[in-house]
Structure 1
Amino acid sequence: MKHRLFLFDLDDTLLDFKASEKLSFVRTMQELGLRDGVDGLFQQYQAINTALWKSFEAGAVSKDFLKVERFRKTFETKGIELDSEAASRLYLESLPDTVVLIDGAQHVCETLAAFGEVGVITNGVESIQSRRIASSGLSKHISFVATSESSGYAKPDVRFFEYATKMARSFVKDKTIIVGDRLDADILGANRFGIESCWFNPSRLANESEALPTYEVASLHEILPSLREFAAA
């Protein structure tokens, strides 16, 4: 295997954020006294949250604004009078307790850590992501965690990847690969930074973007065979 530095996105690549997100959202609403219509409210929240994250990645809004605004806007849209700041706090407190691993995450991180160095690259909230990684049991295989919060830049900004690779023990471009589920952040970022990438695409979506992954897998279990096969070719 030619690669020695493996940079993994966290949410929906190693950790099932969709499952964790819903569990935390439901728990938050229950603590705020809301029990009816939570599923519909969650769908509204997801759409608003996704749009705000895209704005954050484009540099249009701050992360502190995003954390509260997604709840304020959700409540406003549905005409619900709840404290958006309290909702944000309760939700973020809950996330580290609702960690769900993607199938194969433990094995792939353990195996690749024996070949080289595994790092996590994430646009998520630093304190929350660190606690979630600790809860996941993956910490012993991960050398470092690079967040947009600590770097000052978000994926796919090249400056984020420059920051992340400086955290590694050793960085050689042609021996580094990014694994992530998002074409517009992980794969496009890898393209711009000039390193290889592996698109984790469990839903087998069509790639209609400008981002060009080096490899594509539908399961984390496919990563090791793919990297070994191409290294031997």
Structure 2
Amino acid sequence: MDGTMTKGENKLRYKHVIFDADDTLLRYRDDERAAFRRLFLSLGVNADEDLLSCCNAVSEKIWTETGLYDVHSPAIQKRYHYLYKEHIERVFEEIFRYCKECGIVFSKRISPENARDSFLRELETGGNYVDGAKETLLYLKNRGYILSVATNGLTAIQEGRTKELQNLFVHLFVSEAFGAIKPSEAFFAKFLSALHAKKEECLFVGDSLSSDICGAKNAGIDCCFFNPQKKSVPENVPAPDFTIEKLTDLMRLL
């Protein structure tokens, strides 16, 4: 765990701790997998692990092809939420072709567009949490920090997926509602304004170097890189102020 300040010094320094959602507090691929499973069940198919793994792989492939990882691109920032939905529809186009080739028969006909809408509703009921998420949030809340979640994504989905945590944080900021995504300056400026907070009062915690760490550092906000996979930080990425490998490390830091 990087950072040289003691717990007491950090407590005096920060008033707000703002968390990313996906792969910081919530396991996106696990929630996605569960949503695929429930959707298939509604179509009369008990999806096995091979089919679900195929769905995850197709989703990852099309997410990359759609450019949704390129969050620094102005074109992607402008169309992010439209592309997010388009990505899901394309996923089902490919999955339905795969199912047809494998002889998997659904109990009713459904278009990729309708499957997309049903899947997004299923995703709202997710809630696979990263190890230590609830414990860490509860600890920090009891320590007196004002906790928030700031995430890219669709509002209804992120509200649903964080439902069980909402008694632990005060604000949920979602890019769809903001009309701006991380790492844009507009996103960070909007949540600072909503918090009525000074930059130096805030610590941003996230797992993404491109959207969380770059976004926070460019906005002048201290950040903590959640790095369970022990990734190296490229030279072209601003160095995070702190790095942790487990969320519970925040309990020692703060």
TM exceeds 0.5?
A: yes
C-alpha distance in 2 between matches for 1:221 and 1:107: 7
> Displacement, 1:89?
1.2
Residue matched to 2:120: 92
Which sections of structure 1, spanning at least 5 residues, go unmatched?
A: 228-233
5+ long unaligned stretches in structure 2: 1-10, 101-109
Higher relative contact order (CA 8 A, sep 6+): 2
- State TM-score, norm by structure 2: 0.79
Match of 2:104 in 1: none
| Equivalent of residue 85 in structure 2, options 43, 53, 67 | 67
> C-alpha distance in 2, partners of 1:203/1:96?
27
2:175 aligned with 1:175: no
Structure 2 counterpart of 1:43: 57
Q: Is the aligned partner of 1:195 residue 2:221? A: yes
Once the two structures are superposed, residues 42-70 of structure 1 have per-residue CA deviations (whole angstroms, 9 ceiling, x without a partner) of 31222212443225663333413421333
1:69/1:100 CA distance change after superposition, 3 Å: closer
* Contact 2:126–2:160 (8 Å) recurs in 1: no
Instruction: Identify the range of structure 1 (79-88 vs 206-215) with the bigger mean alpha-carbon deviation.
Output: 79-88
2:17 corresponds to 1:3: no
Which whole-Å CA distance do the structure 2 matches of 1:64 and 1:206 have between them? 32
Look up the equivalent residue of 1:45 and give its one-letter code.
Answer: S
Give secondary structure in 1 for the equivalent of 2:183: coil
Partner of 1:231: none
3-state DSSP of counterpart to 2:197:
coil
Give, in angstroms, the shift of residue 143 of structure 1: 0.9
RMSD, matched Cα: 2.3
Is the counterpart of residue 164 in structure 1 residue 191 in structure 2? yes
Larger radius of gyration: 2
Aligned to 2:146: 117
From 182, 186, 199, the equivalent of 2:212 is 186
Q: Are 1:20 and 2:31 matched, yes or no? A: yes
Number of residue pairs matched?
Answer: 224
What is the CA distance between 1:14 and its match in structure 2?
0.8
Instruction: Tell me whether 1:148 sits opposite 2:175 in the alignment.
Output: yes
Q: Give 1:27 deviation, angstroms.
A: 2.6
| Equivalent position SS for 1:197 | strand
Shift of 1:23: 1.4
Distance 1:177 1:221 in 2: 16
Contact 1:72–1:84 under 8 Å retained in 2: yes
